[in-house]
Amino acid sequence: MKSKSLSNKRLAVITTHPQYYQVPIFQQIKKKKLFNLDVYYASDEGGKISNCNEFGRKIIWDTPLLKSHDYFIARDQKKHINSFFLSFSNLKKFLTKKKYTAILILGWNNVFYLKSFFLALFLGIPMILRVETNNDKKISFIKKIIKSFFLFFYLRCFDYFLYIGKRNKNFYKDYNIQNNKLFYAPYSADSNFYFKKNINLKFFKKKFNPQNKKIILFVGKLIERKNPKTFIDLALAFKNNDDLLFVLVGDGNLMSYCKNYIEHNKLENIKLVGFKNRKEIRDIYKISYLLVMTSKYETWGLVVNEAIACKLPVLVSSSCGCSDDLIKNSLTGFVYKEGNFIDLKRKFVKLVNNKILYSNIKSNLIPHIKKQNFDVTITSLRKILNKI
C-alpha cells in the first residue's frame, strides 16, 4: 500500500544532544523532503565538542553533526547531558507556535523529557516514544517497584512506540503495549560512513600493525560497565600466542587501572591506544581480525553495528542488548555467557583457529547489517504519521 503525501505533517523530536546514530536519520528526512521535522536539543554537546567525563578528557569530533537538518538548541545549557535537571526553558513557546502533528520523545530520565511529555499532553499533541530500555539491568527491589509504578502510567499516555530490537520490544510487551502500537526502528550504523573505503588503508595498517598480527579489538569507554578487565584477562590467557595483538581503543576512569594491570602481568601482546576519533576507529575496525565486547550490561552496543559494517566478526557478551538481533552463532559471530570466562575462551578459540568458519562469518556480515538501517526507522515514522 502506497503512503500518502506527508508534506503537511510536522514532527518534533525531543532529545538531549546530537548523536551520530540519530542525526543521519534527521538529515535523510530533510534531504528527501519526506515530511517536516524539527529537532530540539537541550545541549549542543557532541555536535562538535564533547565534555563527557566518562571519556576522561575533552573530545573534538571529526564529523560535526549540527548540519543538514532543522534544529533548535536550548539557550540555557547549564547542565551536563546526564543531569536530571537538563531542560529547555522556552520549549512551550515553540510547541505552541509550530502546531506539530506528533512529538517523538527519546527518554524519560530528565526534566527536559518530562516537560516535553506534559506539554504534549496539555497541547493535545500525539506522542511517540523511542528508548533503548530493556528488563536486563539488575536494580534493587524498591527501585523496581517505583520504576514499574511510574512506567505503568507513563507509557499509557503514548500513542505509538519505536523499538530498537527484541529485548526492547519485550520491555514494552511486559507493560501490555499492543502490537499495533509498536514499530521497528533498529539502532543502525551510518553505512555511508562505515562502508567508505580508505585508499591509504594499507599504509595505515603497516603503521598501526607493522608485525601484521591478528588484531583482537576492544572499543569503548574504559569504565566498569564496559568491563575492560575481562578483555585484558583474555590477552593474559593467550599471551604465548605470537600471532595475536590485543588492542584497547578508548579512554575513561579505568585507564590507569588498565595500564597498571597490564604492567603487573608483564603483557607484551596488548596495547592501549587511548581515544580515537570516528574516522580512525573506522580504519582500525577494517584492519582488525575480531571485535570482543565484554560489557557487563549494555542496552544495545553500537560498536557491534560499526564493526559488522566494516566486515569485522564479533564476539559479544550475552549482556549486550544487540546480541539477540545482530549475532547468530556461527553465522555472524558468537555470543558468550557474560561472566563465564571459559565460554569466552572457547568461542574465541573457535574464531581464531577455524579459518573456514571465520571466512563464512565474514562473508555473512554485510548482507546481515544492511537490514539494520536508517530507512527502516524512517519508514516506521512515516507509517505512524500516516495514522495520525
Residue 348, CA distances (Å) to 41, 196, 291, 293 in order: 41, 28, 10, 12
Mean pLDDT in the chain?
92
pLDDT class of 1 with cuts at 50, 70, 90: very low
Tell me how crowded residue 172 is: count the other CB atoms within 10 A of its CB: 23
Whether pTM exceeds 0.75: yes
Q: Cell numbers of 374, please?
A: 536508517
Chain segment 91-114, per-residue pLDDT in tens: 999 999 999 999 999 999 999 999
- CA 12 to CA 20: how far, in whole Å? 18
Chain segment 324-357, per-residue pLDDT in tens: 999 988 899 999 999 999 999 999 999 999 999 9
What is the CATH number that goes with domain 10-188+373-387?
A: 3.40.50.2000
- 59-73, 258-272, 346-360: which range is least confident on average? 59-73
Predicted confidence (pLDDT) at residue 56 exceeds the cutoff of 70:
no
Superfamily classification of domain 192-369: Glycogen Phosphorylase B; (3.40.50.2000)
Q: Which helix (H) or strand (E) holds 13?
A: strand 10-15
Chain segment 130-186, per-residue pLDDT in tens: 999 998 887 888 888 888 889 999 999 999 999 999 999 999 999 999 999 999 999
Q: Average pLDDT in the 274-284 region?
A: 93
Which residue intervals of the chain bear CATH 3.40.50.2000? 10-188+373-387, 192-369
- 120-124, 244-248, 275-279, 349-353: which range is least confident on average? 275-279
Nearest Cα neighbor of 290 from 235, 371, 227, 211 is 235
Helix residue ranges per DSSP H, 133-176: 141-155, 166-174
